[in-house]
Structure 1
Amino acid sequence: MSSTGDHLRTATLAGACAAFVATPTLGALFGEGEQTRRYDTVITPPDYAFAVWAPIFLGCIASTVGQCLPAGRDAAMSRRTGWPLAGAYAINAAWSVAAQRDRFAYTPYLLPMATACAAVAHARLQQVRPDTTWSATTPAATGLLLGWTALASTVNVAAAAVAAGVDRMAPRMVAGATAGLMAAVTAVAATVAASRRGGLPLAGAACWGLLTTAATATRPRGVRLTAAAGATAVLAALAHRRRVDRTA
């Protein structure tokens, strides 16, 4: 039976998800958008790669609807993941506002916080099975969001440095950005290997960003090789997880 806490959690989740989807969408339609192109980095995926936000938004909307339905409000999946997902959505919306207002100094703090919230939700959903039809969408949505924002957090740190006046092609900048990308890939691969649920969408979102970066001829060769190797590592972690699941 749904409690007052369930109603409060789902109402907060619904509001945060609405802000998460509407803020960048309306900003692009009626304003200048997030203006990330002006702070391009050597590890930023190409423009077309950002189409990944379409399935992320759709998945998060479906997950939120499922958690807000009467059958989903008191579901174990909702109770375990609702609050951290609300945090992830709200902070992502705040990131979009900062990017649209050219406040890039805040973005290296906001996006890792949003990613951490998504990571908490992803870890918690490993502990429960989807117990309604709609709750099965939560692992997929959370995996997609985590996989993309884990890489984007590293890109944002590099973008903030560029915004502060650092030459994006300076050797130290390229080396630092590449090292950051490697660290993010290591974390993603480890998470995929440990994921009983949501591992495929997590790997898919991360590999999409990595492979599109690897395919961008204007990026330094070392960055492209690192991205390609990173995608290979994530896929290897996914294959390992599949083997473990089959023998369990």
Structure 2
Amino acid sequence: MTVTSRRPVLADLVRSILVAVFAVLQIVVSVLTETGATHESIGAVAREYATPLLAADWAFAIWGPIYVGFLGYAVYQALPGQWGRQLHREIGWWLAFSAVVNIGWVLAFGSGWVPLAELLIVMLLVALAVVFGRLSRQPAESVLERVVLRGTVALYTGWVSFAIALATAATGAWMGLPASGALAAIAAVVVLLAVSVIASWVVLAGTAVIGYSVAAVWAAAGIALNDPPAAVVVAGAIAIVVIIASTTRRLTTAGNPMRAAWG
């Protein structure tokens, strides 16, 4: 059995600094992009390649709490007593990578490089999935950790799980595939229901399910309420019901409801 020391080393310091730097930088880049200071806003590009899977503008407000939570984690993991924790050694580099990829996604999509943005958001989901999975293997050390780390990662992963579907639809529109009409509506319904099934499986298998479910329901509602075809509205409603039902079942059958809910 290998015992890992909690004594901080140089790599811990470097990792801690990079997480903090990229946490701030991704906020700066996002603000500059959304204000049009560097590129078109994400919303403007998304509307340019609109499909039935496009979420309402208000749905993208979820990035606010995600960025604030990520910044909170950056401060938390930078505390001297946290540097040497094995948990941060396992997930810190992945979260730093996720911030870099997110910055690249924002810049690429804002520049209209939709296929590149698609690749980057897939990489973002992979990074978040790794962190989400590793967090599920051990309980939180404190309430603060549950909020700024596990809650943030769960919220972020839930949102990106649906955002990747939106990005893929936009990529299809960029490539010239039908962005409206019956075929586009059918494709949107299939994708939305498939993502909701995957989200329900994550809720039933993972931890911090409240944060994940809130983001997933928020995304599904954003799609359903953005004046899409009626079939997409129905699919969105079904997705919301399935995710909420799965969450309720997980919380009522889990051996440790607190951990299931908040990690």
> Which TM-score tier does this pair reach, normalised by the shorter chain?
over 0.9
Question: Are 2:79 and 1:73 equivalent residues in the alignment?
Answer: no
Question: Are 2:128 and 1:123 equivalent residues in the alignment?
Answer: no
- 1:33 maps to a residue whose letter is S
Tell me which residue corresponds to 1:237. 246
Query: Structure 1 stretches of 5 or more lacking a match?
Result: none
Question: Are 2:171 and 1:165 equivalent residues in the alignment?
Answer: no
Tell me which residue corresponds to 1:177. 188
Give 1:52 deviation, angstroms.
0.9
- 2:14 maps to a residue whose letter is L
Q: Deviations over 1:130-176 (max 9, x none)?
A: 22554322100101110111101011010011122223114333222
What TM-score does the superposition give when structure 2 sets the normalisation length? 0.87
Q: Deviations over 1:43-84 (max 9, x none)?
A: 111011111111111111111111111122222432232122
Question: Are 2:179 and 1:152 equivalent residues in the alignment?
Answer: no
CA distance in 2, matches of 1:43, 1:49: 12
- 1:26 maps to a residue whose letter is L
CA distance in 2, matches of 1:68, 1:94: 24
CA distance in 2, matches of 1:48, 1:73: 37
Q: How many residues align?
A: 246
SS for the counterpart of 2:200 is helix
Question: Are 2:237 and 1:228 equivalent residues in the alignment?
Answer: yes
- 2:58 maps to a residue whose letter is Y
CA distance in 2, matches of 1:181, 1:107: 20
Q: 1:21 to 1:247 in 2, by over 3 A?
A: closer
2:12 and 2:89 in contact (8 A); partners too? yes
Q: 1:58 aligns with which of 68, 80, 88?
A: 68
Q: Which moved more, 1:206-215 or 1:28-37?
A: 28-37
CA distance in 2, matches of 1:161, 1:238: 32
Give 1:22 deviation, angstroms.
1.7
Q: Deviations over 1:214-246 (max 9, x none)?
A: 233x21111111111111111111111111235
2:16 and 2:77 in contact (8 A); partners too? yes
Q: 1:95 to 1:74 in 2, by over 3 A?
A: same
What TM-score does the superposition give when structure 1 sets the normalisation length? 0.92
CA distance in 2, matches of 1:202, 1:44: 20
RMSD of aligned C-alpha atoms? 1.8
2:213 and 2:244 in contact (8 A); partners too? yes
Q: Which moved more, 1:142-151 or 1:164-173?
A: 164-173
Identical pairs, percent = 22
Tell me which residue corresponds to 1:109. 119
Tell me which residue corresponds to 1:17. 23
Tell me which residue corresponds to 2:41. 33
CA distance in 2, matches of 1:10, 1:187: 32
Q: Which moved more, 1:223-232 or 1:2-11?
A: 2-11
* Deviant stretches of 4+, over 6 Å: none
Q: Which moved more, 1:16-25 or 1:119-128?
A: 16-25
